[in-house]
Each structure stands twice: as structure tokens, then as C-alpha cells.
Amino acid sequence: MKNFFVGITIGIGAILPGISSGVMCVVFGLYEKIINSITNFFKDIKQNFKFLFPIAIGVLVGVFVCGNILNFLFDKFSRPISFVFIGLILGSIKIVFNQIKTHKIKLSYILCALFTFSLSFYLITLEKTSLINQIIDIQNNSFLILCGILMSAGIVIPRS
């Protein structure tokens, strides 16, 4: 039951602005175990399924049920809800940094972080120009596909 409720929280994190489900997994201390269960799923199918299934069901419930609730809250109470999420993000920084302290920081990690930050910044500035509208029309939404791929990669980023 605990993993079901954790899954709901992870699902909510997937739809919240500025919060990723990967960070939520780190906060709950399940990130490594989930990654290991997924990557080694066929080595012990029964045990991995038993662990992942309640989390997956919880994620689905979190996304679909809480998505409508969050939509309503953003429509009616936009500013207070935004500050709640800013507080959640700022509050989770300490937990993530505590996780980092247990691992050695390598130059490759720093370079990857700088690269992804630079790419994200570039995409944001590109979005603000009229050039992006021409690119999207010409390339059949390939820019949006690229953004989706990068967003999906963001779920796995906390892995060290």
C-alpha cells in the first residue's frame, strides 16, 4: 500500500510544473531501486513486478485524478498554488543535495549538467523568437518531439 501512495505522489510530480517524477523518486529514496528493478526486470520478474506494479498504478492514479484537481486549483488560485510549488521545489533541494553527498561528483557530471542547462536555455530563447514558429511549421513538429525526448530524459537525470 505504501508503494501505491508513493506512486500517486510520483505521478503528481510528473504533472507539476518544475517538479520531475525522478526527483520525487530521489526524495522517497526509491530512485536506485526503481531503476534497478526496471533494468533487471527479467532477472527476477516476480519480485520486480511485485515492487513496480503498485507504484505504476499509483502513478496512473496520480496523473489522471490529481491532474483535474490541479487544473482546477491553477484556474481558481493561480498565484498561491504557484508559491506552493515553488516552496516544494526549494524544499526538495536539500534532500537532493544530501543524496549527492553520498556520491563523488565527477567532471563528467558537471559537464553534462552544464550542457543540458545550456541546451535548455537555448531552447527557451529559441521559443521566444519568431524563427521557432517557422521551424515548427517546416519540420512537422520535430522541435516538439525533441522537447519531448529531452523532457523524458529529465526523468532519468538524477541517476548517478
Give tens-digit pLDDT for 11-47.
888 887 666 777 788 778 888 898 889 888 999 999 9
Mean pLDDT estimate for the chain: 78
Question: Which residue has better confidence, 133 or 51?
Answer: 51
Instruction: Check the CA dihedral 117-123-128-131 and report its sign.
Output: positive
| Model confidence at 132: pLDDT above 70 | no
Q: Spell out the domain ranges in the chain.
A: 1-102, 103-160
Instruction: Check the CA dihedral 75-25-92-103 and report its sign.
Output: negative
**Amino acid at site 51:** F
First to last CA, the chain: 28
Confirm if 20 and 13 have CB atoms less than 8 A apart.
Answer: yes
| Model confidence at 135: pLDDT above 70 | no
Distance separating alpha carbons of residues 83 and 71, to the nearest angstrom: 15
The pLDDT, as a whole number, for residue 138 is: 52
Confirm if 159 and 113 have CB atoms less than 8 A apart.
Answer: no
Cα angle value 153/155/158 (rounded, 5°)? 100
